[in-house]
């Protein structure tokens, strides 16, 4: 089938889908292309002069992809990327189709795609990425992915189908173990954190996911843990040990709710980074982006300067002012993410005001048992003022009760937001922690109450 024909049909479908208002029409062209010409995405991607980059892992894909796109653009690339949430094969195919002319030409110089962990092996064979970044592997929506080892093996299969350069998190044992699938050891790069400040809160290991040796299954020995199972480890039985990263955080000068300042050594040469996204997890996202940038030949100074100008990806950390109160909207979707958010924003505050909005629709993950994996006891001050809402608000209230934290459920989401705002003293700060669909609802609600363009950042 001629390329122009497939492109004309799929582009028409995208337009029609948008006109009918069907959920943005992100995936439809990809679905049709799979029927008409299953190799379309590969044919289009092959024309990108600087190749294809893929970003995968449980947490931070969207943020890291955004960081990498900004860095590459600052370095003169024209970046083609998939939109948030369309990180399955058909979403990537759709992104390529909508960017292509009818003759199949792309303006972009490089393709940058965030890819769902389970989908990676379905796209690497065809799109032949030149670079693959693997951020971390945490328990997330277990009903969909199964065990972490299975997820790692799926990513491994995806890697093995390529000759890509790999950028692996040295501090995540399962991610670092993916070096086995590289087509050559020379293609493996590691990023990691050597030092955090001594006063960083000690996150209890209850949120840990993967503390077994990926090779011999012995329990790994950790000399440091930064969050979850991310840290410095060695296997007492075999020769598995944290690899030495070639891009590493060597010192953290400051870290608070407004971001952090740290030193990154790239092949031993230090660069100062001022990064306006809070949390250790975001430091790792920045580090992953710097690692990839280095592998693509971007000077560390260019990467650092771009990171300093970063704003939060949609829905991850948003801040606004409402009726004289400062509100943070912090998306939570799994135990490690929630642990990090509580650690960063809540754990050191006196009498913080919180609203948990927990739902269990498909996009949230149907299983909310992960709430029990978060060490709420250690992270929520006992004098916190806590409200819960959402479809599973009652489950959250029960979980908090067992953590010794009193909370009140307000069933109706708009009423819960109003109530939170009223509870916060004027000039004070509150935190809204929603799962995905609850976040969309609350964001819409807040947008009606306030001028989004001016106050959202």
CA distances from 271 to 301, 391, 435 (A): 7, 46, 36
Binding mask 274-303 for Zn ion (x = CB under 5 A): ------------------------------
Listed in sequence order, the residues at least 6 apart from 154 whose beta carbon sits closer than 8 Å to its beta carbon are 117, 118, 120, 121
Q: Listing from the earlier edge strand, what are the strands of the sheet with 353-357? A: 317-322, 325-330, 429-434, 353-357, 385-389, 407-409
Query: Of the candidates 164, 151, 162, 157, which has an alpha carbon nearest to the alpha carbon of residue 214?
Result: 151
Q: Does 69 bind Zn ion (CB under 5 A)?
A: no
Give the C-alpha separation, 337 to 94, whole Å. 29
Taking the least distance from each CB to Zn ion, the nearer of 221 and 323 is: 221
Q: Does 240 bind Zn ion (CB under 5 A)?
A: yes
Near Zn ion by CB under 5 A: residue from 213, 290, 380, 384: 213
Q: Does 180 bind Zn ion (CB under 5 A)?
A: no
Give the C-alpha separation, 29 to 16, whole Å. 10
Give me 166's structure tokens.
């790999």
Listed in sequence order, the residues at least 6 apart from 396 whose beta carbon sits closer than 8 Å to its beta carbon are 356, 358, 368, 371, 388, 390, 407, 409
Q: Of 117-125, 146-154, 157-165, 231-239, which segment contacts Zn ion by CB under 5 A?
A: 231-239
Taking the least distance from each CB to Zn ion, the nearer of 179 and 443 is: 179
Taking the least distance from each CB to Zn ion, the nearer of 238 and 351 is: 238
CB of 208 to Zn ion, least distance (A): 17
Near Zn ion by CB under 5 A: residue from 74, 200, 215, 274: 215
24, 301 Cβ separation under 8 angstroms:
no
Q: Of 30-38, 188-196, 237-245, 393-401, which segment contacts Zn ion by CB under 5 A?
A: 237-245
DSSP string, 355-371: EEE---SGGG-S--GGG
Do the bridges between strand 247-256 and strand 259-266 make them parallel or antiparallel, or are there none, so unpaired?
antiparallel
CB of 239 to Zn ion, least distance (A): 7
Q: Of 53-61, 207-215, 254-262, 402-410, which segment contacts Zn ion by CB under 5 A?
A: 207-215
Taking the least distance from each CB to Zn ion, the nearer of 213 and 249 is: 213
- Mapping DSSP onto H, E and C, the string for 113-153 reads EECCHHHHHHHHHHHCCCEEEECCCCCCCHHHHCCHHHHHH
CB of 176 to Zn ion, least distance (A): 12
Taking the least distance from each CB to Zn ion, the nearer of 69 and 235 is: 235
CB of 187 to Zn ion, least distance (A): 24
Q: Of 60-68, 214-222, 418-426, 439-447, which segment contacts Zn ion by CB under 5 A?
A: 214-222
Taking the least distance from each CB to Zn ion, the nearer of 45 and 240 is: 240
Q: How many CB atoms lie within 10 A of CB 18?
A: 14
Q: Does 361 bind Zn ion (CB under 5 A)?
A: no
CB of 177 to Zn ion, least distance (A): 10
Q: Of 45-53, 213-221, 278-286, 314-322, which segment contacts Zn ion by CB under 5 A?
A: 213-221
Do the bridges between strand 259-266 and strand 269-275 make them parallel or antiparallel, or are there none, so unpaired?
antiparallel
Degrees to nearest 5, angle at CA 74 with 80 and 251: 115
CB of 158 to Zn ion, least distance (A): 24
280, 340 Cβ separation under 8 angstroms:
yes
Give the C-alpha separation, 431 to 386, whole Å. 10
Burial readout 421-447 (b: 16 or more C-beta within 10 A, e: otherwise): bebbeeeebbbbbbbbbbbebbbeebe
Kindly determine how many residues on this chain lie close enough to bind Zn ion according to the rule CB under 5 A.
8
Q: Does 196 bind Zn ion (CB under 5 A)?
A: no
Near Zn ion by CB under 5 A: residue from 20, 238, 301, 406: 238
Q: Of 42-50, 232-240, 364-372, 377-385, which segment contacts Zn ion by CB under 5 A?
A: 232-240
CA 33 to chain CA centroid, Å, is 28
Q: Does 216 bind Zn ion (CB under 5 A)?
A: yes
Binding mask 143-172 for Zn ion (x = CB under 5 A): ------------------------------
CB of 146 to Zn ion, least distance (A): 22
CB of 153 to Zn ion, least distance (A): 17
Q: Does 235 bind Zn ion (CB under 5 A)?
A: yes
Give the C-alpha separation, 198 to 265, whole Å. 19
Binding mask 315-344 for Zn ion (x = CB under 5 A): ------------------------------
In the complex, which residues of this chain contact Zn ion (CB under 5 A)? Answer: 213, 215-216, 218, 235, 237-238, 240
């Amino acid at each position: 089938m001629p390329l122009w024909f497939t492109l004309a049909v799929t582009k028409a479908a995208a337009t029609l889908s948008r006109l009918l208002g069907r959920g943005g029409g992100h995936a439809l062209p990809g679905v049709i292309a799979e029927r008409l010409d299953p190799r379309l995405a590969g044919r289009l991607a092959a024309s990108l002069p600087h190749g294809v980059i893929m970003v995968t892992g449980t947490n931070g894909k969207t943020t890291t992809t955004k960081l990498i796109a900004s860095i590459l653009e600052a370095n003169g690339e024209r970046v083609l990327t998939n939109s948030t949430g369309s990180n399955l094969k058909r979403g990537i195919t759709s992104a390529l189709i909508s960017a292509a002319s009818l003759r199949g030409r792309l303006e972009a110089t490089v393709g940058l795609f965030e890819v769902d962990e389970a989908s990676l092996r379905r796209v690497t064979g065809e799109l032949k990425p030149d670079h693959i970044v693997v951020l971390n592997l945490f328990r997330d929506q277990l009903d969909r992915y199964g065990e972490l080892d299975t997820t790692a093996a799926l990513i491994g299969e995806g890697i093995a189908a390529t000759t890509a350069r790999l950028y692996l998190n040295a501090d995540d044992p399962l991610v670092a173990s993916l070096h086995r699938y590289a087509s050559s050891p020379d293609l493996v790069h590691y990023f990691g954190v050597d030092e955090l400040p001594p006063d960083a809160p000690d996150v209890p290991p209850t949120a840990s996911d993967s503390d077994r040796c990926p090779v011999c299954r012995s329990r790994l020995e950790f000399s440091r843990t930064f969050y979850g199972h991310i840290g410095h480890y060695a296997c007492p039985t075999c020769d598995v040990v944290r690899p030495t990263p070639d891009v590493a955080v060597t010192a953290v000068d400051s870290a608070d709710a407004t971001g952090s300042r740290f030193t990154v050594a790239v092949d031993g040469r230090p660069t100062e980074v001022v990064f306006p996204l809070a949390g250790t997890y975001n430091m790792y996202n920045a580090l992953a982006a710097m690692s990839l940038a280095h592998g693509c030949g971007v000077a560390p100074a260019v990467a650092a300067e771009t990171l300093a100008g970063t704003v939060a990806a949609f829905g991850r950390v948003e801040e606004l002012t409402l009726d004289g109160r400062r509100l943070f909207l912090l998306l939570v979707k799994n135990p490690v993410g929630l642990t990090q958010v509580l650690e960063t924003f809540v754990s050191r505050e006196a009498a913080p005001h919180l609203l948990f909005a927990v739902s269990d629709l498909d996009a949230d993950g149907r299983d909310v048992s992960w709430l029990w994996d978060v060490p709420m006891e250690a992270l929520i001050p006992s004098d916190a003022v806590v409200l819960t809402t959402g479809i599973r608000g009652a489950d959250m209230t029960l979980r908090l009760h067992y953590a010794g934290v009193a909370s009140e459920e307000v069933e109706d989401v708009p009423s819960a937001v109003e109530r939170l705002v009223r509870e916060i003293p004027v000039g004070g700060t509150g935190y809204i922690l929603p799962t995905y669909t609850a976040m969309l609802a609350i964001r819409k609600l807040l947008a009606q109450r306030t001028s989004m363009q001016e106050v959202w950042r």
